[in-house]
Structure 1
Amino acid sequence: MLQEPTPSPYDLRFRLLGFPVRIAWGFWVMAVVFGYSWVQSLDGMLRELSPGIIPLLVLWSICVFVSILIHELGHALAFRQNGIESSVVLYHFGGLAIPRSGRSFGSLRLKDDLWISLAGPLAQLFSAVVVIVLVKLSGYRLDQFDTLYRMPEWLQQTIHADDGAVMISDSVGLYAMVDFYLFPSIFWAILNLIPVLPLDGGRIASSLVQMRGGSIETALWISVIAAGLAALYGFSAGQQYMGLLFIALGVMSYQQLQSAGGGSY
């Protein structure tokens, strides 16, 4: 499931910070499919102020592209820190940082593997913090967190600008851009930290378990249980794709357990 897609003549290619980057055409399809309902809800909320579904979808796709690219560059920079050069691929399942040359990936210490896994979500979350700080310093109040994200009161108070600040929704373009960037940068990053293999959270959990003397089978059982809980939450919250995704990931972890002898060496 999470493997590099076959190159296509329709892919976009460039280099950034010395890393080869390839954007598979399926990435844009994924962005539109995943973003349509979110864009539609914002379009309905903005009503006559909305620029329309198509411009909003384009803006959403750009924001998702930047957010996921930053995530994968976090992994790539952590690889480089450990003597491994990598390339970045964005595709229909999100993104991959793929080791290409240098030190063998298998020679990494568990704590190095943990840091590489953590670096992507941290970079993505940090970029969201930067956006929030810049918006606040510009004198705006992030009213998305009142109307869309249903944040707890204490977190809203932390994020919001001072009383009397201009509501960010007074600027439709800025509101949409910030909304579209913060959603994947915060919520998708957190989702990726659920301890389910092969997500970053699963790799982090696997490293921690083995650093404490546990086995990979223990990490796989954690992955199966966490995937089941995440799928249950997804279906109960009306997020059908999330539910199906975590069922598929849970089945993958369970199959790995079976091939490893049922959970013991």
Structure 2
Amino acid sequence: GLAQGCAFVLAGFVSILIHELGHALTIRKFGLPTQITLTTFGGYATHPAGILSRSKSFLVTAAGPAIQIIFGLLVWLIYINTSMPSDHIEYFVFILAAISIIWAIFNCLPIFPLDGGQMLASILGPRRAKILHMTGIICALIIGLIGLKFGYMLVLVFMGLFAWQNYQMLQQNR
């Protein structure tokens, strides 16, 4: 009902904020200013472009999913070891853990612009953009087809959009 929908949205917001804090705190650790912006489907932590080395850029990108998984596991431990005072709170804690863990894993897929794709870009470097975007297209198509097989049309739609975005970037880099 309405309470579950609100809990889901709030859990998503908290999880995304934790994720972006992981990026932002790592950027700050490297002595750079940062700002977090939350959007409809996620968010991003900005920093001055071109300043970070590829290894530091990788660490900044990896920090988001890493802290989100750690947070999700801690919330999961609370969920399984604590008696909740109400069904609504129990649902919120459960969904917060689930969203945090699942979204962090999904976000590590090697599909640009997801964090996994950005980590792959840091590893490959700018001269290997073709490999980056071909990997993104192939992974997105495979996951989209898996989503279709199991009836997850939204997965198919998003993976189709990611595949198309990587295809367009591949064409621009030719």
TM-score (norm. length: structure 2): 0.90
Any idea what the Cα deviations from partners look like across 1:172-209, whole Å, max 9, x if unmatched? 23431222112210111111111000110101112222
Matches within 5 A, 1:123-142: 123-138=67-82
Mapped pair 1:227 → 2:140: yes
Q: Distance in 2 between the 1:208 and 1:98 partners? A: 20
Counterpart amino acid of residue 103 in structure 2: W
SS in 2 for 1:89: strand
Mapped pair 1:178 → 2:128: no
Offset at residue 96 of structure 1 (A)? 1.4
**Contact 1:75–1:117 (CA<8 Å) still a contact in 2?**
yes
Mapped pair 1:91 → 2:39: yes
Mapped pair 1:57 → 2:5: yes
Offset at residue 83 of structure 1 (A)? 2.2
Offset at residue 137 of structure 1 (A)? 4.3
Q: Distance in 2 between the 1:235 and 1:88 partners? A: 34
Aligned to 1:122: 66
RMSD: 2.0
Counterpart amino acid of residue 188 in structure 1: W
**Contact 1:205–1:219 (CA<8 Å) still a contact in 2?**
yes
Greater strand share, structure number: 1
Structure 1 regions of 5+ residues with no counterpart?
A: 1-52, 141-167
Mapped pair 1:112 → 2:25: no
Q: Distance in 2 between the 1:176 and 1:135 partners? A: 9
Q: Distance in 1 between the 2:53 and 2:146 partners? A: 34
Aligned to 1:256: 169
Greater helix share, structure number: 2
SS in 2 for 1:133: helix
Structure 2 regions of 5+ residues with no counterpart?
A: none
What percent identity do the matched residue pairs reach?
29
Counterpart amino acid of residue 228 in structure 1: L
Any idea what the Cα deviations from partners look like across 1:49-85, whole Å, max 9, x if unmatched? xxxx112212222111111100011111111112221
Aligned to 1:196: 111
Aligned to 1:243: 156
Mapped pair 1:206 → 2:150: no
Q: Distance in 1 between the 2:162 and 2:81 partners? A: 41
Q: Distance in 2 between the 1:171 and 1:115 partners? A: 39
Mapped pair 1:71 → 2:16: no
Q: For the pair shown, which has the larger CA radius of gyration, 1 or 2?
A: 1
Q: Distance in 2 between the 1:175 and 1:135 partners? A: 7
Q: Distance in 2 between the 1:218 and 1:123 partners? A: 28
TM-score (norm. length: structure 1): 0.61
Q: Distance in 1 between the 2:26 and 2:129 partners? A: 23
Q: Distance in 2 between the 1:62 and 1:207 partners? A: 32
User: Which of 1 and 2 has higher RCO (CA within 8 Å, sep 6+)?
Assistant: 2
SS in 1 for 2:36: strand
